[in-house]
Chain A
């Protein structure tokens, strides 16, 4: 279990996160939504131990995230960053193996993301979307109890957006991984997540099951859009209706 309690992050006198509390259990997929600048990336960084907390705490399996050594933390949490440096032009297979518990895990993760034929390709020869799939495969190959991904679908085409979310959901269901994923596509979140967290101006304004979140008018207020709700195959999805009121 990851437990976030009354989290506050202040930088240069600006409040980036204020009084944020929620939990992430193993086996569930939670989507983190919110407009640009809402504090999603700061929250994700705090969750994986990369942000200095001004107040509150993040506990993973009952211990503060800061009390884990780097190696211990890497065995608990895998992280996919929003933007990824690739200083060295390594092969795809080498990159996935760097995060994997075993060579077999690396091979499986490559196959899961349709990267088997890419194993010997150099990372800098790939497109942005292909690189994103490599980093997701690398994170899944780590076989950690929790996985946090910051906008992993941003560079993916529509097929691989759904494909990536299916793989994350599969990891949650079959390997009991707790997944927190930052998304901009609301319907992707409502389709694949069990629960939705909605951020606005550094605070958490909604923490609800995906269907309830899709129906909530808080969405309209936070995004400044009027959404039309529709039901497709039993799921409530949203479409922007026009100019903000």
Chain B
């Protein structure tokens, strides 16, 4: 279907519908009218406070999903590799390592201000490492670059575990930390939620500014260079934006595999591969997708929660295998 007003309306409907379903699910399911009254209510004594908390969490899930979907589209465009995504490239693992440092190091300022910053630095560093190693080894095919990312993700995951074991003490719940790295959404509230939303919107604007050149890069670096793209500078910029989106998602959602793969692919099948509409639709659909999955993670084994990362992997890994089979058949 050609992207346009109709597809954008559908994507917005999917986003709002996803958030609605996500908010209705939980330890106790609820109906939409009660949700609305909970959002409007200022009475702190009622059970609706819990619902209001849930709505904030669902909005957080939406923003994490939007960031991961955008990061996936940008990585795929920049690496000219439809199978690239933050988890498989080791970018999420780098972000998680940075975030774990921010949580565990005994400097309060780092934990308060630095969680998203450290997650961004980790995601960015890991991405540049994958790019650097691939270029040094003259790896140009999609599978080779992903292998570099997977190896780096394993290394960074091991480092994260080591750092956790060495630095964790009684002041930090190890269980909470492990649960977060498996994909556990934070519940941003108040100013934090608004800041997160503003930064996600900034990512969307920045990524839309990259869209035309991501299209051109699909013709190969040589042709792109003759069509006005300063390839080296553009890749640095694109990977910085992608790492920023990944860092935001990791800071508030932990390590969530395959969201950046599933959503852009589904949207590609739906509206085509031009990057501007792809980014916008993927952000909306990715947000709605994760909001629903967050609701499922809170309701299936209620009152316990299934780490969201387990759910996305359960869906995402077979999807990735399906893509691989289609690619090599």
Contact = CB atoms under 8 A, between A and B. Distances in A.
Contact of A70 (B219, B220, B222, B228): B228
Contacts of B223: 79, 81, 84-85
Nearest to A72: B228
Contacts of A73: 226, 228
Nearest to A148: B226
A88 B218 contact: yes
A98 interface: yes
A89 B76 CA distance: 13
B222 A74 contact: no
Nearest to A71: B228
| Dominant SS among interface residues on chain B | loop
Contacts, number: 68
Interface string B60-87: 0000000000000000000010100000
Contacts of A99: 227
A89 B269 CA distance: 11
Tell me which of B80, B217, B218, B226 has the highest count of chain A C-beta atoms within 10 A of its own C-beta. B226
Interface residues of A, number: 28
Contacts of A50: 222, 225-226
Interface string B264-281: 000000001111000000
Nearest to B226: A79
B225 A70 contact: yes
Interface in A72-113: 73-75, 77-79, 81, 84-91, 94, 98-99
B229 interface: yes
A9 interface: no
A122 B212 CA distance: 17
Contacts of B217: 87
Interface in B164-222: 212, 215-220, 222
9 closest A-B pairs by CB: A74-B228, A85-B220, A88-B218, A79-B226, A87-B218, A88-B273, A70-B230, A71-B228, A87-B80
Given A50-B225, A73-B226, A74-B226, 14 more contacts: A70-B225, A70-B231, A73-B228, A77-B226, A85-B219, A86-B218, A87-B80, A88-B274, A91-B272, A91-B274, A94-B274, A98-B212, A120-B2, A122-B272
